[in-house]
Chains A and B, each alone.
Chain A
């Protein structure tokens, strides 16, 4: 497994864990209120902190085990895989954003739109790393 593939695995894991925690908290808060909860800045700070700390620790550990590869720039195949993954993740982001706007248009609920856009941002990042892994593993690049 190359350095960039390991990094993609680590980042996927960190983002999935952080996203699951965020979703769990939002759903729990929503159940307690019996309504869609408003955005919570504390929760967002915890999520961002978790992602930052998780990625720093994860990336540093992967880099420590692959020092030479970590120093080298991405090769031609990796660059194409990274670009393709970034390109397709944009569609995940756009789908979530459009869903948010459509929901707001029909229900006039800004909080749901906010949560949908945040979910789209999280899912698009996860999709980007997941697709990188698929491309690194397969022969489609």
Chain B
């Protein structure tokens, strides 16, 4: 007999009852981890640069950006392989209606977080902050947006949305 596909409601009840995470939920956990790691790397580099000469111009910026991109992409690729191997059926299926709802809500949270932080850093430019500070602020907004969006996804998958 052919295996019947689970409905969106069944999947929702399963995760709310502490069942195994779906492929999409695992990817959200992986993304959260990736952005958190990249944030740690970013803070570490800035701290070191501040300690040494206080400027991060030139190759430093490129190194920082490449480092962050490498961390985020490696964690995503590794995580996607793990999530797919442990949940092959789910990985083959397209995102369902609930996944899209959660994605939209989490993405909205990301936009709000990013706009707020960007507005603060743009505002600081009026009061004498340098262009470097604005670049740092944009990176902070990007990382904070990633953490907030994926944190929201992980929370929403375990809630009754």
Contact = CB atoms under 8 A, between A and B. Distances in A.
Do A and B come together as binding partners?
Answer: yes
Interface of A: 39, 41, 44, 80, 82-90, 93-94, 97, 100-101, 104-105, 108-110, 113-114, 117-118, 120-121, 124-125, 128
Closest 7 CB pairs of A and B: A110-B131, A87-B107, A86-B108, A90-B111, A83-B104, A84-B104, A83-B108
Contacts, number: 80
A127 B138 CA distance: 20
Contact of A93 (B105, B106, B111, B131): B111
A100 to B, nearest CB: 7
Contacts of A124: 111, 115
Given A90-B145, A117-B122, A97 B107 contact: no
B66 interface: no
A16 B131 CA distance: 27
A90 B106 CA distance: 11
Main secondary structure of the interface of B (DSSP, over half): helix
Contacts of A120: 118
5 contacts: A83-B107, A86-B108, A86-B111, A90-B110, A104-B131
Given A86-B107, A114-B125, A114-B134, A93 B101 contact: no
A83 B105 contact: yes
B119 interface: yes
A86 B131 CA distance: 28
B114 interface: yes
Interface string B11-22: 000000000000
A118 B118 CA distance: 9
Main secondary structure of the interface of A (DSSP, over half): helix
B135 interface: yes
A82 B138 CA distance: 25
A90 B138 contact: no
A121 B118 contact: yes
B141 interface: yes
B156 to A, nearest CB: 11
Contact of A121 (B61, B110, B115): B115
Given A84-B104, A94-B114, 20 more contacts: A39-B125, A82-B108, A83-B105, A84-B108, A86-B104, A86-B112, A87-B104, A87-B106, A87-B110, A87-B111, A88-B107, A90-B110, A93-B118, A97-B142, A104-B135, A110-B125, A110-B130, A110-B134, A114-B131, A117-B134
